Chains A and B, each alone.
Chain A
Amino acid sequence: MIELQNLSKVYRTEDVETTALDNLNLTIHQGEFVSVMGTSGCGKSTLLNIVGMLDRPTSGAYIFRDHDISGLSEKDRAQIRKSNIGFIFQNFNLIDELTVWENVELPLHYLGIAKSARREMVDEVLERIGIAHRSRHYPRQLSGGQQQRVAVCRAVIAKPKLILADEPTGNLDSHFGQEVMELIKGLHETGTTVVMVTHSKEDAKYSERIIELYDGRIRTENQLQPNSF
């Protein structure tokens, strides 16, 4: 599903050049659950941003579902992103002015789905994730765990092929963290590809493969469970 070939990302300021990703080669298959670990500044988030098409590599190729997207315009990448990828962030990134329901609805809105269909899909996912009773609340009225559940709902509402999770339990206590990981595990079990950046070894155990980055390169790669394909 995802193939990164000799991928590099270099940040340049006036007098410093920082290599975040250094000739990285990585393949992630359809339906896989991959954790990316590593120390701060090792390039995990950069990797996730490039995979999520929020950022461009400096060099190298990025093949997504058999298409090289490294040369695509911002607009085209946004198009691919909104119909294929769901995001879960460490700090939830819910919009404060929108209710739970509206936050979850947002991706469907940008996909141009009709209102009646949107209503049905949002209600269904909120019910499934167990947050329907909070649908009229605003993010600030929810606990961290509840907010992340909403974020999960938003990530899966458009039935993406790929979910990118950036330290999804980083801002949660262990109880809520476990709940959220169970949710992600459930999504994976329905066939969704998951790439998760995490510091937590506990969380990483939910995945099938752990990639450890160091200074922008893959240092170790552990297959924990048999591939699902």
Chain B
Amino acid sequence: MLFGYFKIAFRNLINNKVYALISILGLAIGISGSTLIALYIQDEMSYDAYHEKADRIYRLTTILDFNGTMDVGLTNYLAGPTLMTDYPEVENFVRFYGGNGEAQITAGEHVFRETNFWITDSSIFHVFSYHLISGNPASALTAPNSVVLTQSMADKYFPETDAFGKEMKMNNTVLNVTGVMENPPANSEIPINALVSMTTLPPQFHATFGQDWFRVSFFTFLLMRNPVDPIVFDKKLVEFEKKYVQPWSEANNIVAGHEYSITAMKEVHFDNTHEYDMPKGNKNHIYIFGALALFLLFVAAINFINLMLAQQTKRAKEVGVRKTLGASSKSLILRFLAESFVVTIIAMIIGLSLSEILINPFNVISGKMLNSHALFTPMVVGTDLLILLVIGLLAGSYPAVVLSSLKPVNVLKGQVIRDDHRGLLRKALILLQFTFSMFMIAGTFLIRDQITYMHSVDLGFDRENLVSVDLPIDTANRRRIQPWIDELKNDSRIVSTSRTSLPTNGGGELMFRIEQNGKMEERAVKFLFVDDEFAEVLGLTFSKGRNFSKDHATDVTSSFIVNEKAAESFGWGNDALNKRIQWNLQPNGTAANDGVVVGVLNDFHFQSLHNALEPLVLCYNPNGGQNLSLRLTKGDYTNTLSDIETSWNEVVAGVPFSFSFYDQDLEANYTRENNMYRIFMYFASVAIVLACLGLFALLSYTIESRRKEIGIRKVLGAGNTNLSWIIAKDFVYIMLLAFCIAMPVDYYLVKNWQTEFAYTTGFNVWSYVLALLLAGLLSMIAVGYHSLKIAVSNPVDSLREE
């Protein structure tokens, strides 16, 4: 019997090739697109879910309350161990330190620059589910100078040999490989290349950090004995703060406090409100992508359902005959449902195969690392089955119920089933489809507007022609590097150099004491350590005062430069010069660095445009950081860079020359937006093409079912324009209505999205009009084709049939 259903369904498809192709391929593309987006969402939602104890792991964060608050993703050294001692519900803790900086790794002859080398507690393997390939999880990170490498790092440093037991160097510290772990999945909150034992840090580090509740530098995770309610536990943390932090503050004359809170592991990826944190996901984006996946699926499913409805109507005669010959209504309902499922299953199979094929291109546009195994997880398979069920039922049940209830005597008499409410249903579905499509097209344009705007904003400096070279970290090479830099200054193609790492997304905040209203007030302020050439390389200009200078011996300890925003924010107005600033604060009200403002810079964007301009203090560090920044002359600098590399190789031993273009580094701030734009662009294009194909097929159906009317109108003298309008007008109204519905929704969502940026382009109505015109133009192609067909048709043909 099933074979029979399949056979008839198949023959129906063959007899209506165009409809079949549009509906099946359309649905397949819709399924494939929405599946890929679903995988993206699943990946985002499953961060760190692979830890067996994930439901008992929580991250501890701190709000530092000085003169104003600073919410950081970190804690001090003491909070984790003290909580474990004092609170029986805390089973264990793990701290991560220092991994976001760069380390120079020497393994044998080779030197590498790496990030994500974390100094951590030995309890890590107890709390998190990292699997060791070699080494003992209980002891691998107990001894000083122990390192556990991930498989990929082990293969990189010790190819073709077992890394276990080997020696390597991190900066100037010798480490022994005490374990190799499997690479953690990409959807991990803390990206790990290697883990170094906490005991590797020197005793004075432990002594300093172990008595200071205000040195906030560690990511701290707590393992609870049982899952807890964060809100309830946070109340205990208030007591904890009173017991430990406040007495310490008072003893050290600090008027400040901490506010601790915990976040469940599964929420950490979206807990994106903290400073000094790992890159985070954004729940809003997940909702937007979720809506995108649903829209796409809707558009394709509606096409499918609409075309199935149109097709099934033609089968009234078949139903009449079958009923006359004894078929029951039940058997007919079953038949139509089964046929609908057969076709849906075909589309599903093609769709999933497409997803498999398209997963790599999708990774490129989305910046994910999904693999096709994800297609077969219970959640995806379950969702697919649900989609199959819903679409199969929707596409099959309406014709099944309507057709099976037909009276054979009416159908066989040639009486056509009334199309009124079915027509209305179809129009409602098309309305939805165009609303979704227009929403997506306009969304794409609006995202593009924001991205274009961000590129056009004057950052206060010239971002072009800047190159950032990574300097060696080891002391020997460090010593050799300054003469090399001095040599570069003689190259006429190099305009200026600075040993400052150019800011890509701001630095962090430091606690300063600032002279305000004649008093010194503590305040957390953004800062940068710069040399005296930084301003020149970036092209910054001073509104008052002077730059740092090697000629002023005291500049290192007692000179500061601020931006205009800081001068305004600190209440200095035009009188910023010589105002007092302290940092490197000591508990007793003194400071290691105590000085005055010597210069005021015109404002420039030292953070991404997600952030508004903030007060900034520049501290002088003539020795420079880990990068050399170069401003090159305009033009093709391939030769310049290759010459620089040649001279590098002559001077620096074993460290490869590595550099990046500053404008690209800045662009990395907008990776999320760029990815989102690309995803929107591709999927909106697919949606509108699907919607137009659907419209095309449906128009041909409409025209077919109105052949007689068109024939009569033609005989009575209707012109082609008039006839085209009769056919097209309903769809034109639908499109305008779709526009009216989609516009406020887009407006709301885009406004909401734009709150992520401090600088927004606003809501560009023209982008919306453009979306309408584009959708209109594409659908007019469908209408135009059919108008042409009407124009050349002979009315006698259609009338003769009656």
On A, residues with C-beta under 8 Å from B are: 45, 49, 52, 54-55, 75, 78-79, 81-83, 87, 89, 91, 93-98, 106-107, 110-111, 154
Contact = CB atoms under 8 A, between A and B. Distances in A.
A93 B317 contact: yes
Contacts of A78: 323, 326, 328
B326 A93 contact: no
A81 B317 contact: no
B324 A87 contact: yes
Interface in B388-426: 407-409, 412-414
A89 B412 contact: yes
A107 B325 contact: yes
Contacts of B479: none
22 contacts: A52-B324, A54-B324, A54-B408, A55-B407, A55-B409, A78-B323, A78-B328, A82-B325, A83-B326, A87-B325, A93-B317, A94-B321, A95-B317, A96-B15, A97-B11, A97-B15, A98-B8, A106-B322, A106-B325, A107-B326, A110-B322, A110-B325
A96 B317 CA distance: 10
A94 B322 CA distance: 10
Interface string B302-337: 000000000000000110111111111000000000
A110 B15 CA distance: 25
Contacts of A110: 322, 325-327
A98 to B, nearest CB: 8
Given A49-B409, A54-B408, A89-B412, A97 B326 contact: no
B360 to A, nearest CB: 41
B321 to A, nearest CB: 5
Contacts of B669: none
B188 interface: no
B12 interface: yes
A97 B321 CA distance: 12
A93 B322 contact: no
Contacts of B11: 97
Given A54-B408, A93-B320, A96-B15, A45 B326 contact: no
B410 to A, nearest CB: 9
Nearest to B318: A95
A89 B15 CA distance: 24
A54 B327 CA distance: 13
Given A45-B413, A54-B409, A93 B321 contact: yes
Contacts of A82: 325-326
A52 B413 CA distance: 14
Top 10 A-B residue pairs of the complex, sorted by shortest distance between their CB atoms: A82-B326, A110-B326, A54-B409, A97-B11, A107-B325, A95-B318, A49-B409, A55-B409, A93-B321, A106-B325
A55 B412 CA distance: 12
Contact of B12 (A55, A91, A93, A97): A97
Nearest to B326: A82
Contacts of B413: 45
A81 B326 CA distance: 7
Contacts of B325: 82, 87, 106-107, 110, 154
A97 to B, nearest CB: 4
Contacts of A98: 8
A45 B325 CA distance: 18
Contacts of B318: 95-97
Interface in B1-19: 8, 11-12, 15
Given A95-B318, A97-B8, A75 B409 contact: no
Contacts of B323: 78
Nearest to A138: B11
A111 B318 CA distance: 18
A210 to B, nearest CB: 24
Contacts of B12: 97
Contacts of A87: 324-325
Contacts of B326: 78-79, 81-83, 107, 110-111
B312 to A, nearest CB: 12
Interface in B491-511: none
Contacts of A81: 324, 326
Interface in B128-143: none
A55 B323 CA distance: 12
Contacts of B317: 93, 95
A90 to B, nearest CB: 10
B328 A75 contact: yes
A95 B321 contact: yes
Nearest to B327: A110
A185 B185 CA distance: 81
A69 to B, nearest CB: 15
A54 B415 CA distance: 15
Given A82-B326, A106-B321, 6 more contacts: A79-B326, A93-B412, A95-B322, A97-B8, A98-B8, A110-B325
Interface string B514-544: 0000000000000000000000000000000
Interface string B253-269: 00000000000000000
Nearest to A154: B325
A79 B327 CA distance: 9
